[in-house]
Amino acid sequence: MSGIVYLVGAGPGDPGLITVKALRLLQRADVVVYDRLANPELLAEARSGAELIDAGKAPGDQRLTQDETNALLVELGKQGKTVVRLKGGDPFVFGRGGEEALALAEAGVPFEVVPGVTSAVAVPAHAGIPVTHRGASTSVAFVTGNEDPTKEESQVNWKALATAAETLVVLMGLGNLPQIAEELNIGGLPLDCPVALIQQGAGPKQRTVVGNLGNIADLAHSEGLKPPVIAVFGNVVKLRERIAWYDTRPLFGKRVLVTRTRQQASTLAEQLAERGAEAIELPSIAIQAIQNNNSLEEAFSDLSSYHWLVFTSTNGVDIFFDHLRSSGMDTRSLAGVRVCAIGPATASAISAHGIVADLVPERFVSEALVEALAQKGIKDKNILVARAEAGREELRHGLEAAGANVNDIALYRTVIPSESQGRARDVFDAGVDIVTFASSSTVRNLIELLGGDISLLKTATVACIGPVTAATARDMGLTVHVEAQEYTIPGLVQALIDHLESGGG
């Protein structure tokens, strides 16, 4: 029985530019055959157990020839597999998708084409260059530059293209740029025609060099540009000065290490990426619920006796309610119990379980929480604190000093995730500009992952979510450059932006 092959455009650079249909197919494919221009982050979307095959083709480095790729797709289809052929940009815009479709059609293997966002349009857009613009360009030509324009059998008539369209977008032409520029000039394109070269477009390493037809080949050499590069010729290039947006974002070009748990990292990573950073996820902690938690079971047996239930983290919230449900109980068991959250993120986690926090202190630290509860009158009141095993003792001591009867129960412990073992040094060897810490545990565990070698952190900007985390970092010998004034993830991101905009490294 024959399977089906989907020729899928992954879009350029930014994995968020993949289409909804393409993502859905990727998530259910048996086999993914991908090339080097498809963002590797997308491979994480493949289902567990899917076979991943690298068919990447780069100058001087071919995993599979095109004929071998065609034959592979046919073979997989005939095996009854659901195959996604994941190609950068659009499969039918210089992606050789037509050749693969012909091979499949001739072999009688069912296939579909899923168009993608082509780099020919998206990459210039990310450089602030529209390929058409009223008053500047009403026509555009897309051309491959991956052949010798001086050879007799060249299919590209550069002289004719020089005046055929007001905007010329050349893909894969960096190696032939001197000859292309010469041929275009001979064809009538003036030497002062604006030209932009965009390297690794629509990604965190995007780089744009602007010149003119007369000097662009020399600029490409002196700036050390490497493929992939897209060249844009025409007056639309001038618009970049006014509407550049992608590479002018406040964190653009910064490699930022995210040390939160795998489950929590995406929130910070997304906010960093939205502001231009390249977020590198290296979880230094994982959450491990304490099993056979007799103290918690005892508390559940008499929840109505507590006046306050205090949560100090989102992790504690989720584990508490998981235990509650597994004990055959639900939120009705908390009727009459007031709930306190240490901060807005924790309050939001509580809300997800159908409960609105009665109290959130203005400052999101234990001392402020004690002060806020004390103002509510907690003398002789029973308080249940749900926290991490290595949580700070200041909370319990402060509540007891205010006269409360405190039942302090550890719900979980933080451990070093096995997936991060051995990765830390490789991450730092590749370069890290900023390290973010969202808890004291992330500080201690990252340093342990580095074998205690804090010298690797000396060249990075260290950013902490608040004073407690910052104090731990300093105690471990680190210099803290950024300390958020609002102890939240948005507060941490804004503190980083403020630091950089004020001239910080």
Q: In terms of C-beta density within 10 A (0-12 exposed, 13-18 middle, 19 or more buried), how is residue 437 classed?
A: buried
The yes-or-no answer on residue 254 being catalytic is no
User: Which residue pairs from 99-103 have beta carbons closer than 8 angstroms and sit at least 24 positions apart in sequence?
Assistant: 99/66, 99/70, 100/5, 100/7, 100/69, 100/70, 100/73, 101/7, 103/70, 103/71, 103/73, 103/74
- 399 alpha-carbon distance from chain centroid: 40
Which of 432, 429, 107 lies closest to 256 in space, CA to CA?
A: 432
Catalytic residue among 14, 35, 247, 433: 35
What is the distance between the alpha carbons of residues 473 and 451, in angstroms, rounded to a whole number?
16
Q: In terms of C-beta density within 10 A (0-12 exposed, 13-18 middle, 19 or more buried), how is residue 452 classed?
A: exposed
The yes-or-no answer on residue 14 being catalytic is no
Look up residue 265 and give its two tokens: 């990292």
Catalytic residue among 14, 81, 90, 172: 172
What is the distance between the alpha carbons of residues 301 and 325, in angstroms, rounded to a whole number?
13
Catalytic residue among 57, 78, 159, 238: 57
Strand 255-258 and strand 207-212: the pairing is unpaired
Q: Which residues contact 473 (CB under 8 A, 6 or more apart)?
A: 437, 443, 462, 464, 480
Task: Please state the three-class secondary structure of 266-323 as a single string.
Answer: HHHHHHHHHCCCEEEECCCCEEEECCCCHHHHHHHCCHHHCCEEEECCHHHHHHHHHH
Handedness of CA 444, 450, 451, 455 (dihedral sign): negative
Look up residue 368 and give its two tokens: 């402020």
Active site residues: 35, 57, 172
